[in-house]
Structure 1
Amino acid sequence: MAILFVLLALAVLAVVVTANWYVWRRLFRDTTRAPGWGRRGGAALIAGGWAMAVGALVAERTGAPFPLQQALAWPGFLWLALSVYLLLGVLAGEAVRPLLRRHLERRDRTSERTAAAATPAVVTAPALAPPEDPVPPAPPASPEPPAPSRRLFVSRVVGGAAAAAAVGTVGYGTYGVLRGPRVKRVTVPLAKLPRAAHGYRIAVVSDIHLGPVLGRDFARKVVDTINGAQPDLIAVVGDLVDGSVKDLGPAAAPLAGLKARHGSFFVTGNHEYFSGAEQWVEEVRRLGLLPLENARTELPWFDLAGVNDVAGESEGHGPDFGKALGDRDTARACVLLAHQPVQIHDAVEHGVDLQLSGHTHGGQLWPGSIIAAAANPTVAGLERYGDTQLYVSRGAGAWGPPTRVGAPSDITLLQLASPDA
């Protein structure tokens, strides 16, 4: 097993190194005439960016001093996003490159034919005697730098366009995250929901990811957005934080301002188990949220249950569906909070009517949605599995790069619908 892991790690490293060499070649080597500061500077930029990115990941996972995490996180994580789109940009440029070369060749041939047609015939004049005092010839003009070759010109145009597109994409995607999530409204019919609960509103928020990048101001935006939707109940379905209570307690403090008629509830996500889950469960309880640790509460019109994330199994605190759902009245509708969509299969077996999840971020950075779809039954939105419906939120924040492309952040206001209404 260890040998397989080493071989896999070496394969991944080889892919990353090759991809970065390719980006350096297209953006720096192919756009310069000869070795010099441009090529060396490009190599330093790429190597330095990856050094910051690896440092940011290691600092977060090892619990390095929080100021150091913050110093590394912004440049390191943004470089991760930028490197993805630089690679995609230069790959897309391969399709443009031959088209642009052919266009330039046709243009040059047309120009040559036009110039030849416009050149007048040369008439030989009789030789004249030289003047007695000939004018001395003018000194030769200083040579102009040679025009770039067609290949070099094409490389500069394509490379510049790829870099501009990558920077613009990451910039806009980062702005979208820092601006704060928007409210997404979804209606979900529940067959067992009584008429009196028709229109009941649940605010679903997941994957806030408070950490060295997204802090107290971001938490306040999330709280204000949720409260502005005026929900009846708030469900925080995991991955609230990336760090310890000591470092991020002040950032999470605005959560104490959450307001809903039937309260706010919380279940753990996998990142809580990287950040001290037991301490965070107590902290959210102190802030006024009710943790559902493999537990259930009976609301007036339906049951609300929650299970721990599967990452808790390594600490002996994994999901226990039997404990949360085993003895309930199955005639009542049941809404389950479970961080990962893969838990839907257990929910179906236990007769859950609606599972609320997050975890996927909707892919966060396109084409990450393709990878997310391979690992999760549902990446985002509402789908049905037998008699159980699964709703997956794209999440409010972002992990790693504070950037989203093709998967905008959201807080979902679910409105439950009764068939008797």
Structure 2
Amino acid sequence: MDDDTTKEDMVAACEALGTLKTTYGVYYGFGNHDKGYYGPQYRGYSGDDLIAELEKNNVKVLQDETVLLDDRFYLIGRQDRSEDQRGNDRASMEELTADLDTAKYSIVLDHQPYEYEDQATVGVDLVLSGHTHGGQLFPLNRMGELLGIDAKTYGLEQQKNTNFIVTSGISDWAIKFKTGCRSEYVVIDVREISQ
């Protein structure tokens, strides 16, 4: 979703997510534009309306929540850090992982590629992010990293034993094209390594 996603398109997207056939369910982590803080009057629905529509379609929204799946791995969905600006402080990685069994694999959904050191220090295995749209516009595509806004613009990075993946995503922001990267959706196979 984005600031200019219409209610009709939002409903259709939620219905499409609800039709996905998966082993462990469909999970959703908010980004900085999903709740419509930057223009709700244009799109005709609130963040709460979006949550209700997702849940109606059996999509589990994770905002500073952890779920254990198949008693084998954790999925940790972080509240977007833009919520801090609205007085909605997000939980720290220490809080989110305090009671987890570290022998189990852990995947973090964190829209903005940020706090890499904190995530690596607590020992999560994989962090998935987007937000940057892959840099979107050349030659400004690495500006977020240079200014310290984002830890990474695109790709795979490893710190300690934590892998970080930042995708460019399918869409764009503000202008309807990208010059610094391609649109994509990413399929990630996580496989257990035999001992």
Q: Please report the TM-score for the alignment, with normalisation by the length of structure 1.
A: 0.40
Secondary structure of residue in 2 paired with 1:415 = coil
Structure 2 counterpart of 1:342: 114
Structure 1 counterpart of 2:179: 405
Structure 2 counterpart of 1:167: none
Provide the identity percentage: 29
> Is residue 361 of structure 1 aligned with residue 133 of structure 2?
yes
**Displacement after TM superposition at 1:365 (Å):** 1.7
RMSD across aligned positions (CA) = 2.1
Distance 1:284 1:316, change over 3 A: farther
Larger radius of gyration: 1
> Is residue 328 of structure 1 aligned with residue 89 of structure 2?
no
CA distance in 1, matches of 2:95, 2:87: 14
CA distance in 2, matches of 1:406, 1:316: 34
CA distance in 1, matches of 2:32, 2:110: 11
> Is residue 370 of structure 1 aligned with residue 142 of structure 2?
yes
**Displacement after TM superposition at 1:245 (Å):** 7.0
CA distance in 1, matches of 2:152, 2:59: 27
On the 8 A contact 1:305/1:336 being kept in 2, the answer is yes
CA distance in 2, matches of 1:399, 1:370: 16
For 1:68-107, list aligned pairs within 5 A.
none
**Displacement after TM superposition at 1:255 (Å):** 2.7
> Is residue 312 of structure 1 aligned with residue 86 of structure 2?
no
CA distance in 1, matches of 2:168, 2:29: 16
> Is residue 242 of structure 1 aligned with residue 16 of structure 2?
no
CA distance in 1, matches of 2:55, 2:47: 12
CA distance in 2, matches of 1:316, 1:380: 29
Give the aligned residue type for 2:67.
T
Q: Deviations over 1:4-44 (max 9, x none)?
A: xxxxxxxxxxxxxxxxxxxxxxxxxxxxxxxxxxxxxxxxx
Q: Deviations over 1:76-118 (max 9, x none)?
A: xxxxxxxxxxxxxxxxxxxxxxxxxxxxxxxxxxxxxxxxxxx
For 1:78-157, list aligned pairs within 5 A.
none
On the 8 A contact 2:97/2:122 being kept in 1, the answer is yes
CA distance in 1, matches of 2:133, 2:182: 9
Larger helix proportion, structure 1 or 2?
1
> Is residue 296 of structure 1 aligned with residue 66 of structure 2?
yes
Distance 1:372 1:242, change over 3 A: same
CA distance in 2, matches of 1:359, 1:338: 9
On the 8 A contact 2:105/2:125 being kept in 1, the answer is yes
Distance 1:342 1:373, change over 3 A: same
Extract unaligned runs of 5+ from structure 2.
41-45
**Displacement after TM superposition at 1:307 (Å):** 0.8
CA distance in 2, matches of 1:265, 1:362: 22
CA distance in 1, matches of 2:50, 2:134: 25
Distance 1:287 1:368, change over 3 A: farther
CA distance in 2, matches of 1:316, 1:281: 19
Indicate the structure whose relative CO is greater, using CA pairs within 8 Å and at least 6 residues apart.
Answer: 1
Structure 2 counterpart of 1:254: 16
Secondary structure of residue in 2 paired with 1:304 = strand
Secondary structure of residue in 1 paired with 2:142 = helix
CA distance in 1, matches of 2:88, 2:51: 12
Query: Out of 270, 273, 285, which is 2:55 matched to?
Result: 285
Q: Deviations over 1:295-325 (max 9, x none)?
A: 1111122111111001112334332134432
